[in-house]
Chain A
Amino acid sequence: MKTEKTDILIIGAGASGAVSSWNLSKTNLKITCLDQGPLLSKKEYSFNNKEREINKMHYFNPDTNIRNLAQDYPIDSDNSPISIANYNAIGGSTLIYSGHYLRFHKTDFFTKKKDGVNSNWLFHYNHLKKYYDLNDKMMGVSGLVGDPAYPDIKNLLPPIEIGTTGKILAKAFNKLNWHWWPSYAAVKTSKRYLKGIRPTVVEVYLKKAIKNGLILKPNCKVIKIISSSKSLVKGVIYKNKKNKKIYLKAKLIILAASGIGTPRILLNSYNKFFPNGLANNSGKVGKNLMLHPLGFIEGKFDKYLASNEGVEGCSIYSHEFYKSNKKRNFKRGYTIQHLRSPGPIEAYHFLNKFKKINFGKNFFKNFFDYFGKTIQLSVICEDFADEKNYIELDFKKKDKDNMPGVKINYKLSKNSKNMLSHGLNHCKKLLEIAGAKKIQAFGPVKNTGWHISGTTKMGKSKKNSVVNKFGQCHDIQNLFIVDSSIFPSSSAVNLASTIQAVSLMLTDNIKDNLTKYLNLKI
């Protein structure tokens, strides 16, 4: 087997891996980043691509089992009401995400102390603030300063257009005296062009990192991390595009392969020192899986609203029901997001799914009765860590390299069910006031497991967590995890902004302690 060497190895080139690669590429060390996916051209994944709507259903489908590409691995979600949504390529899920860049609130970092749920984080919002600010600037986050829910956010690009439907909803929010605000979106806008251009981490971080000397290796799948002792790792075995196994030696390894990919690699890296999976003396690798249960609410209006136009993703959001309230039958809360309605092809498939469109003389009548006339909302619920919700290796379904797939075991808690129900009912009320003639609401929506966290939880105790506050594995001194799998609580907002801020902070700590970490005797 061919052997290669590097100083620091980063596994994964998605939201967290790209940020980590960029931050560490500013050192004089040899930094290598491996990702199982290909490096796609911007034209292929561009949000302005005319064929994007079709691509989202096939090549860029968020369901790994549907797209079934060479780089994908099987994920069995039969034992879960929510299936995993992600993308495996350089840039990861940022190639297809909604780019909704809400930050965690201050209280999201100590939910145990405040509401008696989850575990507290080992750092707080104030520690992360400068990294949130830096990341907002790098990604080109647009929004409107002055939000009562985020009074400290400054220096954003001009907000995206909220469109006709956003304004209809805004008036309804005002009538109910509920909080709402234009979305914070990773969409680069200018005063002249508010529709904007959506960047991904490929352009924002990885291209700069490569200029700094990063060695980025696409189509390279890490099969196993190799231990040298009970407390150190010495490298990885990966398969390259030509299907050849290579041993890559590294002084320090950083896992940034997402809430699913990271525990999968750790569990598959079992050895004589760690028979239950690498860094898994606590038995918590893969446990405490948190997904954001998502409710969907759609109101149909009589008039054409051009709701299929505008920025893909969220244009306005509300945190009216974000915090705990003793009068409710659930703890913590949720975000309401206003989503863009589907384009023509997605609209057809949606109608077809519910048997509301047929080919023939009524085709256009059915179609235009729906297309552009709907307002869609989503309710994103905070999830709680529970050991009964976990991922495990699936030896029955393996990927093309004979590496085990992943099986999801997840149930909605009573708290989540109550929260979802509250969210669906309140959104119905909102849409009624907005003037919707027909409303449908359901949840949890199956293929919405975008926000995966908790599977290598951060904590003080070696017994019930996997990493410490620096993202360093309790069991292994030179193995770090910097993605959302370390989050002890999930919040009720999209994770991208916090994933990147956390990665920046943790890799800053690694930079500050390089001498200590790189001089370990492997």
Chain B
Amino acid sequence: MKKKNIRKKLKYILNQMIPFSTDMPICHNVINLQKLSKKFDNDLIKNTDEIKKKIANEVVENYFMSNEVINALKKRKKNNHKKKENLENLLIKVKKNKKSFGRNL
């Protein structure tokens, strides 16, 4: 199999593993296919399950380490932004009820 075809096959496999999602980057766009394809020779590339096993950790690590995915996850945080609560207000009860705590410990 030609290198170009190996990359094509890998692209297909990646999209099977981490499929398209509207708010997350497409897997094959953020992973270096050229680098990944160097790991496979003609024989191995035919066995899809074997490839998935072999590249699973690398794909997950590279995918979530990519700037595109990091930014997508950050956006998610912004969308779920909560109003700030005052720490001091939360601590009033502890301060009031646990006054002798330090001496006892």
Contact = CB atoms under 8 A, between A and B. Distances in A.
Interface of A: 50-51, 53-54, 105-107, 144, 146-152, 159, 162, 164, 167, 170-171, 173-174, 177, 179-182, 303-306, 309, 319, 322-323, 343-345, 348-349, 359-361, 363-364, 372
B79 to A, nearest CB: 8
Interface in B63-105: 64-65, 69-70, 73, 76-77, 80, 82, 85, 87, 90-91, 93-95, 97-105
A176 B18 CA distance: 43
Given A159-B87, A167-B85, A170-B90, A345 B65 contact: yes
Given A148-B94, A151-B103, A173-B94, 16 more contacts: A50-B70, A54-B61, A148-B95, A148-B100, A149-B105, A151-B102, A152-B102, A179-B94, A179-B98, A303-B80, A304-B77, A345-B60, A359-B56, A361-B19, A364-B24, A372-B76
A146 B102 CA distance: 10
B17 A360 contact: yes
Nearest to A146: B95
25 contacts: A105-B105, A107-B105, A146-B91, A146-B95, A148-B95, A149-B98, A149-B102, A149-B105, A151-B103, A159-B87, A164-B82, A173-B94, A177-B93, A179-B94, A181-B94, A303-B80, A304-B80, A306-B77, A306-B80, A309-B77, A345-B64, A363-B18, A364-B18, A364-B21, A372-B77
Given A359-B18, A364-B24, A50 B60 contact: no
A306 B98 CA distance: 30
B52 interface: yes
Given A304-B76, A364-B24, A51 B65 contact: yes
B40 to A, nearest CB: 18
Contacts of A50: 65, 70
Shortest 7 CB-CB contacts between residues of A and residues of B: A148-B101, A359-B17, A148-B98, A344-B64, A151-B102, A170-B90, A174-B93
Contacts of B16: 359-360
Contacts of A309: 77
A359 B55 CA distance: 12
B80 A54 contact: no
A174 B105 contact: no
Most A Cβ at <10 Å: residue of B64, B85, B94 = B94
B102 A150 contact: yes
Contacts, number: 93
Interface of B: 16-19, 21, 24, 52, 56, 60-61, 64-65, 69-70, 73, 76-77, 80, 82, 85, 87, 90-91, 93-95, 97-105
Nearest to B62: A54
Contacts of B61: 54, 345
A183 to B, nearest CB: 12
A180 B98 CA distance: 10
A344 B95 CA distance: 37
B20 to A, nearest CB: 9
A307 to B, nearest CB: 11
Contacts of A152: 102
Contacts of A173: 94
B90 A174 contact: yes
A304 B74 CA distance: 12
Given A345-B64, A359-B52, A359-B56, A180 B94 contact: yes
A55 to B, nearest CB: 11
Contacts of A345: 60-61, 64-65
B90 A149 contact: no
B19 A360 contact: yes
B101 A149 contact: yes
Nearest to A318: B94
A306 B75 CA distance: 11
Contacts of B73: 344
Most A Cβ at <10 Å: residue of B82, B91, B100, B101 = B101
Contacts of A162: 87
A148 B91 CA distance: 11
A167 B82 CA distance: 11
B66 to A, nearest CB: 10
A111 to B, nearest CB: 12
A348 B102 contact: no
A263 B83 CA distance: 52
A106 B64 CA distance: 45
A360 B16 CA distance: 6
Contacts of A181: 91, 94
